[in-house]
Copies of this chain bind each other. A is one copy, B any other.
Amino acid sequence: MKGGNRPDSSYSVELDKIFNPKNIAIVGVSSAGFGFGSGILLSLLAIGYKGKIYAVNKNGGEFFGFKLYKSVQDIPSEIDFAIISVPAELVPASLEACRLKGAAGAEILSAGFRETGTAEGAKLEQEIKDISRKGIRVIGPNCFGIYCPKSGLTLLPGPDLSREEGPVAFLSQSGGMAIDLAHIGKWMGIRFSKVVSFGNGADLRETELLEYLQHDPDTQVICMYIEGVEDGRRFFETLKKVAATKPVIVYKGGLSVSGHRAVESHTASMGGNRIIWESALRQSNAIQVNDMYDMAHTALGFSLIPPGKYSGVAVTGGGGALGVLSCDLAERFGLMLPELENGISSKIMEALPKPGSSAKNPIDVANPMVHPSVLREALVGAAQDTRIDIQVLIQLLYHYKSMAMGLGKPLKEVVPYMELVDMIQEVRSGTGKPIVLVLPNLKRDNENMDVEEIIRETRSKAVERNIPVFDDIKDAFKTIAYVSRYYSNTKIYKDKEDETKGSV
């Protein structure tokens, strides 16, 4: 509870220093073999950390051009931040040495503490807590550390994470989940301010970090993976406060009977009761998700879809069942596909190929290989209907494969993917209504790697223009529904909306 007793400003300064260290000591860099210490050092170099790194190994020597200091004391300057990866029994002494060197904080990658269920592990963890109270903040133990592209910090197994910074923060009790979301984010287009894997959370953990993120100007969307909280009441009070200004997406693990057992051996947490958790999350206006991809999609949605209530959706795509499917799915997520006004519908029909097309909503362009210039007419038209709040465009790019084979050309020359993303960007800015792109791939056999490549290429171009892309229409609808529900329930946004209405 020490965090709770400190004034905001004090621990903000400490955490700012931890997230933006001018130098780092890595304690436990083995000069031989493949250890956590050498691994994190190489990861920091790979991702381009620009500060000074001091590497420590009790035997001295050299690693990768780095002098290995025999002890933390030998480091010839003060340090901002430490990464500790020595055997559990040596951690307390290393942590204390880092504190004496002036480090604001340390991440402890080592495992072998409370999660082992042994008295020895619990004792070692208590020692960490005691040292931390004397004045050094701790991330971990049993964690993967911090990823912060802005300052060049990365997770233990994170040499190849994106270097681009963005609005999403992720607090994760699980290191595996932290690295998973960071990997998914890289290609999906989720850009991060800070990812913190805090493992056993001996010192810094969910509530205090959440409080920090509320005031972090680099963070606009917060994701959390929680196995258990230290102080439920304080956590939910904080969550409610934070969620009133920034969307907080919560994935709570261990709410099942057997999940309980798994969290104990994972991060030494208590799982909690499903009904209590779910109702408390709802009351806090947090967004509860139930798996990793759900969290990723939702984070992407909040990053790229502007705040707003989205009820009426226009869907454009080729292939009739896709239309039926769209309607059924939309309704499942509380969205509507209003039938377009007659005038608009007949105007769109003029542009569509025949027969087989339909422009009522969903707009069925009949053929999956309709050119972006035609799709443009559908999107511009549908946006004119005042009941349409957001548009979903489905493109089955794999159908171009037969065309490419027929023409004897590579797929990349046949699919008008640049025209597609340019068109979407232009229509979106022209109409002021968001557009979400869906790029399913049903041809995932070995002979169709080129289909995968063109879809990835299209996705990455779309992401550059801040167009959210989903594999599946279900994910698109679900995400839109989450975004819409959050803003519908958020006072800060409702007030703004009333203001706008008042001023009209």
Which residues of A are at the interface with B, using a C-beta cutoff of 8 A? 34, 111-112, 116, 157, 159-160, 174, 176-177, 180, 183-184, 186-188, 225, 227, 253-263, 265-267, 290-293, 319-332, 336-339, 355-356, 358, 360-362, 364, 398-399, 401-402, 406, 442-447, 449, 452-453, 456-457, 460, 472, 474
Question: Which residues of the other chain, B, contact A255 by a CB distance below 8 angstroms?
Answer: 328
Would you call B472 and A293 a contact (CB within 8 A)? yes
The one of B159, B176, B257, B291 in contact with A320, judged by C-beta atoms closer than 8 angstroms, is B176
A324 touches B291 (CB 8 A): no
Cβ-defined contact, A259 with B327, below 8 A:
yes
Report the Cα distance A339→B337, complex, angstroms. 47
Q: Given known contacts A176-B319, A176-B320, A321-B176, is B330 in contact with A258 (CB within 8 Å)?
A: yes
Chain B positions within 8 Å of A460 at CB level? 445-446
Q: Decide: B291 and A325 in contact? CB cutoff 8 A.
A: yes
Asked if B402 contacts A331 (CB within 8 A), the reply is no
* Interface pair A320/B187, CB less than 8 Å apart: no
Residues of B within 8 A of A360 (CB): 261-262, 265
8 more contacts with CB within 8 A, not counting A262-B327, A446-B456, are A180-B321, A180-B442, A184-B442, A253-B328, A265-B364, A266-B364, A290-B329, A452-B452
- B157 close to A266 (CB less than 8 A): no
Q: A324-B253, A406-B34 are in contact. Are A443 and B183 (CB under 8 A)?
A: yes
10 nearest CB pairs, A to B? A174-B321, A259-B327, A256-B331, A176-B319, A266-B320, A258-B327, A187-B445, A253-B324, A258-B337, A262-B324
Q: Which residue of B lies closest to A366 (CB)?
A: B111
For the complex, what is the distance from the CA of A174 to the CA of B259, rounded to whole Å? 41
Can you report 30 A-B residue pairs in the complex whose CB atoms are below 8 A from each other?
A34-B406, A157-B402, A159-B402, A160-B401, A174-B321, A177-B321, A184-B442, A186-B443, A187-B444, A187-B445, A188-B444, A253-B324, A256-B328, A256-B331, A257-B327, A258-B331, A258-B339, A260-B327, A262-B326, A262-B327, A262-B358, A262-B360, A265-B320, A265-B358, A265-B364, A266-B321, A266-B358, A291-B472, A446-B456, A446-B457
Partner pick for A186 among B291, B328, B445, CB 8 A cutoff: B445
Whether the pair B472, A324 counts as a contact (CB closer than 8 A) is no
Within the assembled complex, what's the spacing in Å between the Cα atoms of A262 and B323?
6
Q: Is the CB of A355 within 8 A of B116?
A: yes
Q: CA of A204 to CA of B329 in the docked complex: distance in angstroms?
A: 29
A267 / chain B contacts, CB cutoff of 8 Å: 320
Number of copies: 2
A41 to chain B, nearest CB (A): 14
CA distance A358 to B258 in the complex (A): 14
Cα(A402)–Cα(B156), bound, Å: 12
Question: Complex Cα distance A186/B187, Å?
Answer: 26
Given contacts A261-B360, A293-B472, A355-B116, contact A324 B227 (CB under 8 A): yes
**Chain B residues with CB under 8 A of A358:** 262, 265-266
Name which of A362, A401, A453 has the most chain B CB atoms within 10 A of its CB.
A362
Q: Is B266 in contact with A323, judged by CB distance below 8 angstroms?
A: yes
Residues of B within 8 A of A402 (CB): 157, 159-160
A360 CB to closest chain B CB, in angstroms?
A: 6
Are A449 and B452 neighbours in the complex by a CB distance under 8 Å?
yes
Q: Which residues of B contact A355 (CB under 8 A)?
A: 111-112, 116
| Inter-chain contact A291/B329, CB cutoff 8 Å | yes
Provide the bound-state CA to CA distance between A338 and B256, in Å: 12
Taken together as a complex, chains A and B put the C-alpha atoms of A225 and B331 apart, in Å, by 19
- The reply to whether B186 and A324 contact each other, CB–CB distance below 8 Å, is no
Chain B residues with Cβ below 8 Å from A339 are: 258, 261
- Most chain B CB atoms below 10 A, which of A253, A260, A401, A460: A253
- Min CB distance A504 to B, Å, is 29
Q: Smallest distance from the beta carbon of A349 to chain B beta carbons, Å?
A: 12
Greatest chain B CB density within 10 A among A254, A267, A290, A442 is at: A442
A195 to chain B, nearest CB (A): 14
A235 CB, nearest partner CB in chain B, Å: 18
Question: What separation, in Å, do the CA atoms of A73 and B299 have in the docked complex?
Answer: 64
| Shortest distance from the beta carbon of A395 to any chain B beta carbon, whole Å | 14
| Inter-chain contacts of A253 with B (CB < 8 A) | 321, 324-325, 328
Known: A187-B444, A406-B34, A445-B186. A324 touches B456 (CB 8 A): no
Q: With A258-B331, A445-B187, A457-B446 as given contacts, are A325 and B292 in contact (CB-CB < 8 Å)?
A: yes
B180, B254, B406, B474: the one within 8 Å of A324 (CB): B254
In the complex, what residues of B have CB within 8 A of residue A336's CB?
258
Cα distance A360–B261 when bound, in Å? 9
A324 & B442 in contact (Cβ 8 Å cutoff)? no
